[in-house]
Amino acid sequence: MSKQNLKPPRGTRDLYPEDQRFREWLFGHFREVAARFAFEEVDAPIVERASLFMRKAGEEIVDQLYHFELHGRHLALRPEMTPSIARMVMARAGGLRMPLRWFTVTQNWRYERMTRGRKREHYQWNMDIYGEPSVTAEAELIAAVTTLVDRVGLERDHVKIRVNSRSLLEASLRAGVLRDRPEVFEPLCVVIDKIEKIGADKVTDMLVDPAGAVQLDAASARDVVAMLEVKNLEDAVAAAPADSSAGSDLLRLWSLLSAYGIEDRVVFDASVVRGLAYYTGIVFEAFDTRGALRSICGGGRYDRLTETLGGPSIPAAGFGFGDVVIAELLADMNKLPELQHPVDDVVFAFDEAQRAAAIDVATRLRGAGHRVELVLGTPKLKRVITDADRDGVDTLWLVGPDEVERGVVKQRRLATGEESELPLDSFAVEPRG
């Protein structure tokens, strides 16, 4: 046997019990929030036809796909969940009661460079609404995000959500600088998505760049960048063309968010456009207010995706919420939960002669829904108690020679040290779970 590298591949993670406990805790909150909003969970294969992801996104995404040819088929690990959901909706579009609310918690893969908060595999919570054209859908989605933020223990001012409308921007540009070239709207969004990181001057340069995809004149580029710097909803709405509903949609959204009581948790930001090509309307992203981390989640309206995939036109909105950035934020804020190995009862036979009796006790407890650790060897009692205490065990069942001879089992409550003896063959068990 030659030596081999036993580390997990770059950008992937092993999850030890303490890691997995955290993940299950987080996923539990994802699922519970989704349930409270009456979303149903769905799933899809982690391997899809590569074309599902390449169709709209272009070559850069292709480079980030984990993809391979097998028996002449071009397959890929899913980099995001949205196309799979769209595919599933399209397949049953005629029979689904709209609007439908679906959520997923899935592992996604992207072959790309790693930085803080970005790995090659990560889990993502997606919530999607299909068949609802009004911003009541976006409002519900944003409310779900804030509910999750609260549930995991973050403070109200740790996270805020930036909101913009791509259709507002698009309407303004089509009435102006893009009047004759509507097709450059998407590349323009890709450029201005960077404004937070590279600054207004560089974005202006890129918009003007004669070798670039947009090629505006200098004055138009400055106008566009000036539009993005609007941080005030009223100013943005006032600047919107009269023939667009984008302004009134934004106002409606704000009034809905106010009804949810979360108006203070969203900020209008005209520079938020999101990087994905399929967004068409409201877009939003959650960020930590210190500005130290990447976006915590992102989403928006994507009314044309099903059409783009060759299906019927179905309005849709949704978001993806990753497990990596939220974990880093919780760590930074010192809000990581302390999670124990969940054990309710420990059953201990002092000696192998009491093994059968101990197994019987454990089996009856397990039958009543208890999580029971049966001590497998015969360590010292002191050790058993110390370990059980550290795991937060509720009850220790002591099955010794003395007890068995008298037909009893000794029950010790770890929290109080209180002990009592119960009949071995007929003790009552409180149901749990």
Partner RNA sequence: GUGGGCGUAGCUCAGUUGGUUAGAGCGCCGGAUUGUGAUUCCGGAGGUCGCGGGUUCGACCCCCGUCGUCCACCCCA
Binding footprint of RNA on the chain (CB under 7 A): 3, 5, 7, 9-12, 60, 79-80, 110, 112-116, 118, 190, 193-194, 197-198, 274-277, 285, 294-295, 297-298, 320, 350, 379-383, 385-386, 388-389, 398, 400-403, 410, 412-417, 419
Taking the least distance from each CB to RNA, the nearer of 195 and 237 is 195
Distance in Å, CB of 386 to RNA, minimum: 4
| Shorter beta-carbon distance to RNA: residue 12 or 258 | 12
Minimum CB separation of residue 9 from RNA in Å reads 6
Peptide bond into 99 cis (omega under 30): yes
Long-range CB pairs of 236-240, under 8 A, 24+ apart, other chains included: 236/168, 236/268, 236/270, 237/168, 239/172, 240/168, 240/171, 240/172
State which residue, 39 or 284, has the beta carbon closest to RNA: 284
Give min distance, CB of 278 to RNA, in A: 10
- Angle CA(307)–CA(308)–CA(312) in degrees, nearest 5? 15
For residue 5, the minimal CB distance to RNA (Å) is 5
- CB of residue 133 to RNA, shortest distance in Å: 23
C-alpha angle 246/229/144, rounded to 5°? 55
Distance CA 37, CA 143 (A): 9
- How far is the C-alpha of 95 from the C-alpha of 78, rounded, in Å? 26
Least distance in angstroms from the C-beta of 33 to RNA: 18
Nearer to RNA, 91 or 415 (CB): 415
Q: How many CB atoms lie within 10 A of CB 226?
A: 13
Nearer to RNA, 237 or 404 (CB): 404
CB of 407 to RNA, least distance (A): 13
CA atoms within 13 A on the CB side of 48: 25
The DSSP code sequence of 131-144 is S--STHHHHHHHHH
What SS3 class is residue 426? coil
3-state secondary structure of 269: coil
Q: How many residues in the chain?
A: 433
Q: Rounded to an integer, what distance in angstroms lies between the CA atom of residue 264 and that of residue 64? A: 37
Shortest distance (Å) from residue 321 CB to RNA: 9
Nearer to RNA, 105 or 237 (CB): 105
Beta partners for residue 67, in sequence order: 76
**Joined tokens for residue 198:** 């590279």
Pairing of strands 372-374, 100-109: unpaired
Q: How far is the CB of 16 from RNA (least distance, A)?
A: 9
> How far apart are alpha carbons 130 and 151 in whole angstroms?
26
CB-nearer residue toward RNA: 265 or 412: 412
Nearer to RNA, 160 or 237 (CB): 160
Q: Which is nearer to RNA, 237 or 268 (CB)?
A: 268
Distance in angstroms (rounded) separating the CA atoms of residues 321 and 306? 22
Q: Which is nearer to RNA, 298 or 315 (CB)?
A: 298
The minimum distance between CB 179 and RNA, in angstroms, equals 25
Please tell me the distance from the alpha carbon of residue 63 to that of residue 59, in angstroms, as a whole number: 6
Which strand (E) or helix (H) includes residue 52?
helix 51-57
Token representation of residue 140: 């519900």
